[in-house]
Amino acid sequence: MSVSKLLGAACAVTLVAAPAFAQGYPERQVTMVVPFTAGGPTDTVARLVAERMSADLGKQVIVENVGGAGGTLGAGQVAKADPDGYTVLLHHIGMATSDTLYRNLAYDTENAFDYVGLVTDVPMVIVARKDFEPADFPAFVDYVKGHAEDLTLANAGIGAASHLCGMLLMQALDVPLVTVPYKGTGPAMTDLLGGQVDFMCDQTTNTTQQIKGGTIKAYAATTPERLAVFPDLPTTAEGGLPEVQVSIWHGIYTPKGTPAEVNQRLSASLQKALADEGVIKAMADLGTAPVSAEEATPEALKAKLESEIARWKPVIEAAGVYAD
Amino acid sequence: MATKPRDDTDMIAGLLLMAAAAFFGWQTTGLEVGTSLRMGPGYFPMLLSGLLFLLGVWVFLKSFGREGEPTGPIAWRGILFILPAPVFFGLTVRGLGFVPALFLTSLIASQASVKMRPLPALVLAVLVTIISTLIFSYGLGLPFRRFGPWLDF
Amino acid sequence: MDLLSNLGMGFSVASSFANLGFCLIGVLLGTLIGVLPGIGATATIAMLLPITFQLEPVSSLIMLAGIYYGAQYGGSTTAILINMPGESSSAVTAIDGYQMARKGRAGTALATAALGSFFAGSVATFLVAIFAPPLTAIALEFGAAEYFSLMVLGLVMSVALAHGTVPKALAMVVLGLLLGIVGTDVYTGTPRFTLGITQFSDGLNFVALAVGVFGIAEILRNLEDEHERQVMTRNINSLFPNRDELRQIIGPVLRGTGVGSILGILPGGGAILASFASYTIEKKLSKHPEEFGHGAIAGVAGPESANNAGAQTSFIPLLTLGIPANPVMALMIGAMIIQGIVPGPSVVTDQPELFWGIIASMWIGNLMLVVLNLPLIGLWVKLLTVPYFVLFPIIMAMCSIGVYSVNSNVYDLFAVAFFGLLGYVLSKLRFEPAPLLLGFVLGPLLEENLRRAMILSRGDPTTFVTRPISAGLLVLALAVLVLVFLPQIRRRREEVFTESEG
């Protein structure tokens, strides 16, 4: 089949499915809602991707920060927006966990959105203050089990990824620890650096430079495979705790009812952005990488969201913590 | 003087503080107080509400036995037009869009002064809208829709 | 010497023609946006951030630093001219700065703020250059117990902020603390005082509160009796401080610089206290404490210097630890990451040009600020000659945009209206807004650190006195308390005495 025929067929399909609407998309600027304040890690991911997507779409993709209530305000706003492709949401793992953490959510997580694709998976690392005794991960596990009452576990607040990871760790080790919540990862990291708390889980975005600088000690990566930045760091699975696996995955969503062509167009643009060298490098600096082109698709994101909701529901319910 | 001196302002101030304390105290009732190791969410607010109430009583009692100053006139017109302005902007900025919402907000606010005549008010609102749109929407590229979905026909 | 060669490298990076240009543009834009009412440093930086993305990393950060200083100075300008602070620090400047403006001394107040800031900025820049690593070590000694004690000290000082009666000032602090608690409890996730409104689950917006109780309440007061009352005096005195005034500000500027430099280093919110602490110190040391609140020049010079010194040294935890001390620094980290620089302990060694370039540009930025703003003062002061009924609709429009732009949260605008009314009622009842604001910013920190300290000490309250830094701060708090209350008691005695005589 010749190229022109193929193109013609593709056009025909498009025309049938969405009369005149998706064809010219985008006709004006697209608003990418980030449900967190400007300057945070999620905002950074969004701005990186939005810039490259703008170049591909030919219209500006601008980031709007609608922070508050663990990301549920911004998500709620997008759920109610017109499904025309001009309002999209970039959210992380919180999209799945807030479904259980918030008992009176203003939207139905699994039915209020359409999907564009996954963006990146930020791994987490179990880190401790630099003078923490155990030498390696197996020793860490024994030490924590043996000294559970004397140790403190920091997290970045109820429902934060560090909190979820801490819950998993406690359930896996079967010991209750004194948890110390903070308002965000910044203050938690400060106290870990100062030796005020003993250990925590945190994403590589925050930990990579600190580990390299020797200001904190890393014990394990919470990913299925070892991290490229720290090839010597074992995974939790290697240490016998395969259930302690958390990564902060980010996805782009549109309001339910957005034409499939628009989602496909955004998805194609996302894939292009993720293949951009600048984006790959910027993400590598953060200790992460863009997902593959197959994962930056509506299907992959839908599957991820559904499996993550199912996965976290029992964990959160067992711990009995809710954010409202 | 036949009547005992009393500072009315402080008396009202004291009563208002007590009312505020009662409100916060009432809102605290549903919160868990906890122990000193694990202070609950209600521990600190409970303490503060109590303290605020005591301070209210203190201010109230101090109002007796001395003369107050007059409170002066109240800006009813200001309250009527100034306060609704940001509320109106909030309610309409998404629906009407930035440009019309801001225009009407400036117009409402300008009515708070008796010195403002209708025509200058209109001119002022137009100017404020044009300049703000140039600065914030075009210049800084803030993610506001200039004309919102309510105006789509 | 190492330091000199490092600084030399920094200056050679920062003073390239292009970088000087970006610094200038940053300062200029920061001032122009920051001067708009209701738009504080955080909002200004968030708005201008995208502009810097296209630049080289060093240039981009230099421009951002320029925006930061510009925004901060712009915020103080609004606080002085129309009593509308956009950040907690400029709230203190508003107390006496605005009173000076009303008496026709707006120019003097603005020049004082600019000169004080420049001096403080220069000193603090060198502190950053020389002592960054050791100072970081001190900052890390501060745990929850120390922060709690520091906040207690701050609260005690706040009472001295007020020029009214002590119980009313205390009541405002406590009310502020309670308002600061609104939102989700960090420890349990329980919403408190949110009245079921999800939009308030992250707390009330500071800008909404400050704009409401300061700015809008002031507009309402000015609208009370339009025919008889003139908001601003028509005769404006010379723009620059005279010799006598300059002599008056030397002490406050020096002390403010010291206080601000120290508090700015603490990443857990120390900088918030800087301007409040400086104001209290000046009021206590002044031979004319009664002038405070009615346009005392020391009440502008001290806090402004403290504020700027703190702003400078709050770069220390950012540059040496990669940890943001405040929302503005968080934005800077975001900007760095987008530029491919992940802040952390290794920035100094890995990218010395960047590190020293930023430090040098801090000083250059401060210099530009003063050069740029001294001539602009004349223009700002001219703004005051615009009839008030033209000015306030503009103010209302700007602060609506400013408050909304931070988080696109409509409820923040409702909060502006509510706090405007509250501020007006409070002023009618002769309460003062400054202690309320301090309580509001300290409330969450106080509670968070108290509870965290108790968790870390396993419920042992002696942790506050057995940890030396914490104990020292508490002793200081006690000393301030005695200093504040002694004159009160003495005056009371005198009052009783005179009354019984009469």
- Position C230 scores a pLDDT of 59
User: Quick one: pLDDT band at residue C264, thresholds 50, 70, 90?
Assistant: confident
Distance of CA A132 to the CA centre of its chain: 29
Q: Is the Cβ–Cβ distance between A267 and A56 less than 8 Å?
A: no
**Quick one: B87 and B135 in the same domain?**
yes
Closest CA to A61 of A32, A85, A22, A27: A32
How would DSSP label each residue in A6-26? Answer: HHHHHHHHHHHHSSSTTTT--
Distance of CA A254 to the CA centre of its chain: 17
User: Is C227's pLDDT higher than 70?
Assistant: no
Q: Is A201 helix (H, G, I), strand (E, B) or coil?
A: strand
Q: Is the Cβ–Cβ distance between C107 and C240 less than 8 Å?
A: yes
For A197, the closest chain C residue by CA position comes to C456
- Position A233 scores a pLDDT of 93
Cα torsion angle, C151, C157, C159, C162, sign: negative
| Mean of all residue pLDDT scores within chain C | 83
Of all residues in chain C, what percent carry a pLDDT higher than 90?
A: 16
Strand pairing report for A199-203 and A113-129: antiparallel
Instruction: Of A25-34, C80-89, C213-222, C314-323, give the lowest mean pLDDT range.
Output: C314-323
Contact A190 C267 (CB under 8 A): yes
Q: Is the Cβ–Cβ distance between C424 and B75 less than 8 Å?
A: yes
- In terms of C-beta density within 10 A (0-12 exposed, 13-18 middle, 19 or more buried), how is residue C253 classed? buried
Q: Is the Cβ–Cβ distance between C270 and C263 less than 8 Å?
A: yes
How far is Cα C31 from Cα A192, in angstroms, rounded to an integer?
A: 37
**Quick one: B89 and B142 in the same domain?**
yes
On whether residue B92 sits in a domain, the answer given is yes
C500 touches chain B (CB under 8 A): no
**Quick one: B138 and B85 in the same domain?**
yes
**Quick one: B55 and B83 in the same domain?**
no
- Position A20 scores a pLDDT of 40
Print the domain residue range for C331: 2-501
Q: Is the Cβ–Cβ distance between B123 and B103 less than 8 Å?
A: no
On whether residue B130 sits in a domain, the answer given is yes
What is the average pLDDT across C216-235?
A: 73
Contact C178 B113 (CB under 8 A): no
How far is Cα C500 from Cα C455, in angstroms, rounded to an integer?
A: 54
Q: Is the Cβ–Cβ distance between C160 and C283 less than 8 Å?
A: yes
C-chain residues near A48 (CB < 8 A):
338
User: Which chains lie within 8 Å of chain A at 3 or more CB pairs, if any?
Assistant: B, C
DSSP A176: -
CATH no. of A123-221: 3.40.190.10
A159 touches chain C (CB under 8 A): yes
Contact C143 A196 (CB under 8 A): yes
CB atoms within 10 A of CB C387: 12
Contact C142 A194 (CB under 8 A): yes
User: Quick one: pLDDT band at residue C502, thresholds 50, 70, 90?
Assistant: very low
Substitution target in C220, C424, C445, C455 with the highest count of B β-carbons within 10 Å is C220
A-chain residues near C450 (CB < 8 A):
none
On whether residue B3 sits in a domain, the answer given is no
User: Is A126's pLDDT higher than 60?
Assistant: yes
- Position C179 scores a pLDDT of 93
Give B37 to chain C, closest Cα distance, Å. Answer: 4
User: Quick one: pLDDT band at residue A18, thresholds 50, 70, 90?
Assistant: very low
Q: What confidence tens digit (pLDDT) does each residue in A80-89 have?
A: 888 888 899 9
Q: Is the Cβ–Cβ distance between A110 and A273 less than 8 Å?
A: no
Distance of CA C34 to the CA centre of its chain: 13
**Quick one: B107 and B137 in the same domain?**
yes
Closest CA to C390 of B103, B121, B133, B130: B121
Residues in chain B, total: 153
User: Which chains lie within 8 Å of chain C at 3 or more CB pairs, if any?
Assistant: A, B
C-chain residues near A38 (CB < 8 A):
46, 49, 331, 334
Structural domains in chain C (count): 1
- Lookup: tokens for C128: 């950053």
CB atoms within 10 A of CB C4: 8
Closest CA to C308 of C440, C495, C477, C127: C127
Give A127 to chain C, closest Cα distance, Å. Answer: 15
Residue with tokens 């395969």: A242
Closest CA to B62 of A209, C166, A157, A259: C166
Q: Is the Cβ–Cβ distance between C209 and C419 less than 8 Å?
A: yes
How would DSSP label each residue in C283-330? Answer: HHH-S-GGGTTS--THHHHHHHHHHHHHHHHTHHHHHHH---SSHHHH
User: Is C498's pLDDT higher than 60?
Assistant: no
How would DSSP label each residue in B35-68? Answer: -SSSB-TTHHHHHHHHHHHHHHHHHHHHTBTSPP
C480 touches chain B (CB under 8 A): no
- Position C491 scores a pLDDT of 63
Own/partner contacts of A55-61, CB < 8 Å, gap of 24 or more, are: A56/A268, A56/A269, A56/A272, A56/A273, A57/A26, A57/A30, A57/A265, A57/A266, A57/A269, A58/A26, A59/A26, A59/A27, A59/A28, A59/A29, A59/A30, A60/A29, A60/A30, A60/B141, A61/A29, A61/A30, A61/A31, A61/A32
CATH no. of A3-122+248-319: 3.40.190.150
CB atoms within 10 A of CB B71: 12
Give C487 to chain A, closest Cα distance, Å. Answer: 39
User: Is C433's pLDDT higher than 90?
Assistant: no
Contact C224 B74 (CB under 8 A): yes
**Quick one: B139 and B108 in the same domain?**
yes
How far is Cα A162 from Cα A160, in angstroms, rounded to an integer?
A: 5
Determine phi and psi for C432, rounding to 5 degrees: -110, 140
**Quick one: B102 and B135 in the same domain?**
yes
Closest CA to C245 of C320, C193, C184, C295: C295
HEC string of C379-447 equals HHHHHCCCCHHHHHHHHHHHHHHHHHHHHCCHHHHHHHHHHHHHHHHHHHCCCCHHHHHHHHHHHHHHH
**Quick one: B142 and B87 in the same domain?**
yes
User: Quick one: pLDDT band at residue C488, thresholds 50, 70, 90?
Assistant: low
How far is Cα A304 from Cα A298, in angstroms, rounded to an integer?
A: 10
**Quick one: B52 and B105 in the same domain?**
no
- Selected residue with higher pLDDT from C205 and B84: B84
Pick from C46, C343, C448: which is nearest to A183 by CB?
A: C448
User: Is C100's pLDDT higher than 50?
Assistant: yes
- Lookup: tokens for C121: 């900025």
Residues 68-107 of C with CB under 8 A from B: none
Contact C400 B105 (CB under 8 A): yes
Residue with tokens 């007590």: B18
**Chains B, C: CB pairs < 8 Å:** 200
As a dihedral over the C-alpha atoms of residue A185, residue A158, residue A41, residue A93, rounded to 10 degrees, the angle is: 140
**Chains A, C: CB pairs < 8 Å:** 152
User: Quick one: pLDDT band at residue B3, thresholds 50, 70, 90?
Assistant: low
On whether residue B1 sits in a domain, the answer given is no
CB atoms within 10 A of CB C385: 10
On whether residue B147 sits in a domain, the answer given is yes
Cα torsion angle, B53, B59, B62, B63, sign: negative
Residue with tokens 């290697």: A238
Contact C184 A286 (CB under 8 A): no
How far is Cα C144 from Cα C146, in angstroms, rounded to an integer?
A: 5
For C323, the closest chain A residue by CA position comes to A186
Contact C219 B82 (CB under 8 A): yes
User: Quick one: pLDDT band at residue C235, thresholds 50, 70, 90?
Assistant: low
Burial C36-69 (b: 16+ CB within 10 A, else e): bbbbbbbbbbbbbbbbbeebebbbbbbbbbbbbb
User: Is A14's pLDDT higher than 50?
Assistant: no
Give A241 to chain B, closest Cα distance, Å. Answer: 30
Q: What confidence tens digit (pLDDT) does each residue in B92-132 have?
A: 988 899 999 999 999 999 998 888 888 989 999 999 999 99
User: Is C329's pLDDT higher than 80?
Assistant: no
User: Is A16's pLDDT higher than 50?
Assistant: no
Contact A60 B149 (CB under 8 A): no
Print the domain residue range for B143: 76-151
How far is Cα A234 from Cα A219, in angstroms, rounded to an integer?
A: 7
Q: What confidence tens digit (pLDDT) does each residue in C151-200 have?
A: 888 888 777 666 667 788 889 999 999 999 898 888 877 888 888 787 78
- Position A138 scores a pLDDT of 92
- Position B153 scores a pLDDT of 57
**Quick one: B133 and B83 in the same domain?**
yes
* Half-sphere exposure in the Cβ direction for C336 (13 Å, CA): 24
CB atoms within 10 A of CB A7: 10
- Position B2 scores a pLDDT of 45
User: Position C463: which residue type?
Assistant: T
Give B145 to chain A, closest Cα distance, Å. Answer: 10
User: Is C1's pLDDT higher than 70?
Assistant: no
Helix/strand number for chain C, H first, E second: 22, 2
Residue with tokens 């030919």: A58
C177 touches chain B (CB under 8 A): yes
Measured between alpha carbons, how far is residue C420 from residues A294, B112, C208, C215 in Å? 53, 14, 9, 8
ipTM: 0.92
Q: What confidence tens digit (pLDDT) does each residue in C344-390 have?
A: 776 777 777 778 887 888 888 888 888 888 888 888 888 878 888 88
* Cβ neighbours of residue C268 closer than 8 Å, sequence gap 6 or more: A187, A190, C142, C147, C325, C445, C449
- Selected residue with higher pLDDT from A10 and A63: A63
This prediction has a pTM of 0.84
| Mean of all residue pLDDT scores within chain B | 86
Structural domains in chain B (count): 2
Q: Is B141 helix (H, G, I), strand (E, B) or coil?
A: coil
- Position B1 scores a pLDDT of 43
A319 touches chain C (CB under 8 A): no
Substitution target in C64, C148, C314, C342 with the highest count of A β-carbons within 10 Å is C342
Q: What confidence tens digit (pLDDT) does each residue in B11-37 have?
A: 889 999 999 999 999 988 888 888 776
| Mean of all residue pLDDT scores within chain A | 85
User: Quick one: pLDDT band at residue B66, thresholds 50, 70, 90?
Assistant: confident
B-chain residues near A64 (CB < 8 A):
143
Quick one: which H or E segment has residue C27?
helix C17-34
Strand pairing report for A61-65 and A113-129: unpaired
Give A62 to chain B, closest Cα distance, Å. Answer: 7
- Selected residue with higher pLDDT from C222 and C137: C222
**Quick one: B52 and B108 in the same domain?**
no
Pick from C189, C327, C341: which is nearest to A158 by CB?
A: C189
- In terms of C-beta density within 10 A (0-12 exposed, 13-18 middle, 19 or more buried), how is residue A150 classed? exposed
